[in-house]
Structure 1
Amino acid sequence: MGNMATIRRDIGAGHHFIFDDTLVTQPNTDMFNPEFWHAQSKVTGQAKGRGTTIFIEHESQQWVLRHFKRGGLVGKILSDQYVFLGVERSRPFEEFRLLELMQAQGLRVPVPVAARIHRRGLIYRGDLITQNIPNSRDLHHVLCHQSLQKEEWHKVGHALAAMHNCQVYHHDANVRNIMIDDDKQIWLIDFDRCYKREGEHWKQSNLDRLLRSLRKEKGKNTVFHWEEIHWHWCMEGYKATIAN
């Protein structure tokens, strides 16, 4: 981790790219267009969140392409439009830079491949490509089928503490943004609107968000292998790892 060679490229017509040139030699607008990948039969799946995320197989790489879309009431009006405050302050660029930083710190987060924004006047739209986490499922999917052992909950706590030790605030630390791979390693995903933050006071609210998410899914799903004792195990792992 941490061997990225990041390049930013600004081309005409309001297109701005940032990319890891060890993974992408020449970024272009096509690679951020789902139809381009569908036409080549390189789309291996998709997931629906606020927008549609597609999974791509390209030159032996497994990629995840996400188009930035707004949620809530604002999303019904503006959909995928954001106010332009500068290229580096755009959501795709900020998430790319944050993932790059966490990669350098050795955290298990997606590898950023490329991001782009397309600006028209005061408005921009944007996309991000990351490497897919191989052989992984999100925590919600796993808990609908099986329970985690005590040491696995400890690992979830370790992962959250490692993120907080880097002073990274996760805007949406919920059960679907935690991944578990075949080696029982924990990964954190979806760092849109996340950022480096000073101090300690906000860290508990990140943990509270995840606990609310677990309780909500427990109430919603007929089968959901989670109990309050599991949260205690998670916090044991967190406290063992968090910097004093």
Structure 2
Amino acid sequence: MATIRRDIGAGHHFIFDDALISEPSVDTFSPEFWQFQNKITGQAQGRGTTIFIQHEQHHWVLRHFKRGGLVGKLLSDQYLFLGVARSRPFEEFRLLKMMREQGLLVPTPVAARIHRQGIIYRGDLITQNIPDSNDLHHMLCRQALSKDDWHNVGKALAAMHNCQVYHHDANIRNIMMDRNRHIWLIDFDRCHKRKGNSWKQSNLNRLLRSLKKEKNKNPVFYWDESEWKHCIAGYRSEVR
């Protein structure tokens, strides 16, 4: 599938898969544009708002890049421009494309855009929606996962690590399960390829911390720390 990069002037730069979308425009990344056409089917709140779009036969997820933490309160959605290729939307687009080509269950990238204004830029990413899926937080607030489910979570993390991809925030909200109980990994902002192996344990530690946190936070949460061994067993069975 061909990937094309383009600058239409006024600081707008695009990268997209021309097998999935033809000639994206500024409007393609505008929630107001899709709202006017009554094509928004839902939204999710995170650092910013992620919207779900149904357009013709397509089911897309549009995410505007926003900062978190204290920096986010000051700069919101502004990033220092260090080149188009090094922008967060372009880097995530390419990383997702590489992982899809390696057979990983991650969102399919459709298009990304940045808008440069002087030394700062803002950006957006469109991916294909994962049909009939929920994140593990949603699942565990309603039902326990099986031993096989946890085994598959570990295998999904191992597959990512086998591609030498570091996930910046491998928490349970960034792990999805579809109706066939397949495990997907999402939200690869600030993620990248790394050499070596010493960093991989930190991804596993991050997931365990998020499970413990939600266990303490939610009055109903169907997870016990004794189940962690199933995730680790799945990971070890797959990791190279």
Aligned counterpart for 1:190 among listed residues 179, 187, 192: 187
Task: Tell me the equivalent position of 1:51.
Answer: 48
Tell me what 1:84 maps to.
Answer: 81
1:17 is paired with a residue whose SS is strand
4+ runs deviating over 3 angstroms: none
Q: Which runs of 5+ in 1 are unaligned?
A: none
Instruction: Give the % identical residues.
Output: 73
Residues 20-99 of structure 1: pairs in structure 2 closer than 5 A: 20-99=17-96
TM-score by length of 2: 0.99
**How far, CA to CA, are the matches of 1:230 and 1:189 in structure 2?**
22
Distance 2:166 2:101 in 1: 17
Unaligned 5+ runs, structure 2? none
Once the 2 structures are TM-superposed, how far is the Cα of residue 224 of structure 1 from its aligned partner?
0.5
Match of 1:161 in 2: 158
Aligned to 2:211: 214
Cα distance in 2 for residues equivalent to 1:5 and 1:231? 41
Say which of 117, 126, 146 aligns to 1:129.
Answer: 126
Deviation at 1:175, TM superposition (A): 0.5
Q: How many residues align?
A: 240
Structure 2 counterpart of 1:37, one-letter code: W
For residues 54-109 of structure 1, give each alpha carbon's deviation from its aligned partner in whole angstroms, at most 9, with x where no partner exists: 00001111100000000011111110000000000000000000000000000000
Residue type matched to 1:191 in 2?
F
1:234, CA displacement in angstroms?
0.4
Alpha-carbon RMSD across the aligned residues, in angstroms, is: 0.5
- Partner of residue 176, structure 1: 173
Q: CA deviation at 1:11?
A: 1.5
Deviation at 1:229, TM superposition (A): 1.7
**C-alpha distance in 2 between matches for 1:187 and 1:5:** 24
TM-score by length of 1: 0.98
1:143 aligns with 2:148: no
